[in-house]
Amino acid sequence: MVVPELRPWRGARPRVERIADAVRPSLARVGDALRRSIGTGSPQVRRGSRPRPWLYTATAATAGLALAVGVVTVSGPWDSSGQRTAERDRAVALEAARGTDHGSTRGRAGTPRETRTPPSAPSVLTGLGGTATTVKSAPGGKALAAVLDPLLKTPALGRHSASVVDVATGRRLYGTAPGTPLTPASTIKIVTAAAALSALGPDHRFTTRATYEPDTEEVVLVGGGDPTLSARKKPAPGTARLSDLAERTAAALAKRGVRKVTLSYDETLYPGDRRHPIGENTNIAEITPLMTDEARTDDSGSGAAPRVPDPAADAARTFGELLRKHGVETSPPGPSKSSSRAATLASVSSPPLSALVERMLTNSDNDIAEALARHTAIATGKRADFAGASAAVRAQLQKLKVPLKGAVLRDGSGLDRRDRLTADLLTALLVKAADPAHPELRPVLTGLPVAGFTGTLSGRYADGAGGVVRAKTGTLTGVNTLAGTVVDRDGRLLAFAFLGTGADRGAAQDALDKAATALAGCGCR
């Protein structure tokens, strides 16, 4: 994975190079003094003289201080809270990828970042633009209205709703029809993420297995609902690899003395219709618990792409080819179901749910979203289809005690135009994700695209609040939405949700971005 140089570094590079050049002669002089004091070999102490430990200590301290100054300076730039700004930016931009939202054919995103534990609330809030605590009061409602009303009451957004909430108190500071349900498009992924994390926990993983039926000498590839399972030669770090599963399966069969098997595959974890209601679409594959690389036929990691028509059968065929490379002869694969008598030969597991949630939000990944909705259903004892997943997600939201009036959940990705959410619900979930009482929800914040840097916001905010706004985008024909967080001019963390219905996508996105940028620059008292 190649991480491009971040913008703060490009601007700081001349200064860093000048500082490094200035420090280098000092370090050389210190080194010369050290060599003159102690010699090039082992120190020699003259007979009858006492060693001078202070000289060694002083010399070492001077060298250490000079080196530390150089390293600390070069490692900058640093922000007012003592956090290295490039490190903070890179923490959310490890893949620096371009996602593709619904209805868009822009550049592809990269692969998911390495597995890591969700940060604690203070570090997340600090990374969102300031310290976790603030000393100034929240913006005033009238002042916010004076700034936002002219920007949001534009024909570009059509019928719209908006909500701005102070994260520290949960108090709504601004609202325009905040309880009116509108089509959310991809911002519904915030809902899907919160429900899945609440039901499963951030450390949960999805496991793909190979089982063996001894009576029939049948090997069954059992789908565990991991759409990121990879058959590529160089998958992203932490991703489950089909080649690893094949190698382990072949080794387990060799121990049993088995070299010829009937190959089958099991995709029964998800019952019901496998096709999304929008029909065949390059934005989403057939919804099945067994697929590799989201059934993409190209080398993309996210966004629109051609897909194989039968992801489960394709994954099984690839698995058979890999087994044959390890000396196991297989039949052409067919659908089956692993029985309770079957023994597990080998398994591979996905990255933790926290990483999958972040990838889903950053890249607006529809395949992961639908998988997480179904896993929420499975975890809560409901049927893993569209209806069961929607019911399970709603039940988790009820447990989180967020406002659900008017909400209609038809899918997990937001591709279904019948979905309805309110701005109040979206901001309530963002506030809940920042609550120290709900650390399991933290990936909802850390996965939000960073304006001008990552995912579906990588190509936006070139002249606005780049690196300050973090938000989930939503785009369908006639629907443009944005929901996320921003730190205002006084360091106050705000959650916002803007939902619009304008037909001109470019004009609508500009209006949304201007509103979020205005929040970032607003003291508004």
Annotated catalytic residues are: 186, 189, 364
CA atoms lying within 13 Å on the CB side of residue 419:
31
Crossing angle of helices 353-363/366-379, nearest 10°?
Answer: 140
Q: Are 197 and 168 in contact (CB under 8 A)?
A: no
DSSP code string of 161-175: EEEEEETTT--EEEE
Q: Is 296 helix (H, G, I), strand (E, B) or coil?
A: strand
Beta 470-476 vs 479-487: how paired, if at all? Answer: antiparallel
Q: Please work out, in degrees rounded to the nearest 5, the angle formed at the alpha carbon of residue 303 by the alpha carbons of 298 and 308.
A: 40
For the chain, the C-alpha Rg in angstroms (whole number) is: 27
Report residue 207: phi and psi, to 5°.
-110, 130
Q: Which residue's structure tokens are 């703060």?
A: 8
Distance from C-alpha of 505 to C-alpha of 157, rounded to nearest angstrom: 9
Neighbouring residues of 387: CB distance < 8 A, sequence distance ≥ 6 = none
Q: Are 312 and 324 in contact (CB under 8 A)?
A: no
Q: Please work out, in degrees rounded to the nearest 5, the angle formed at the alpha carbon of residue 21 by the alpha carbons of 15 and 27.
A: 130
Q: If you ran DSSP here, which 8-state letter would residue 481 be given?
A: E
Crossing angle of helices 53-74/7-38, nearest 10°?
Answer: 170
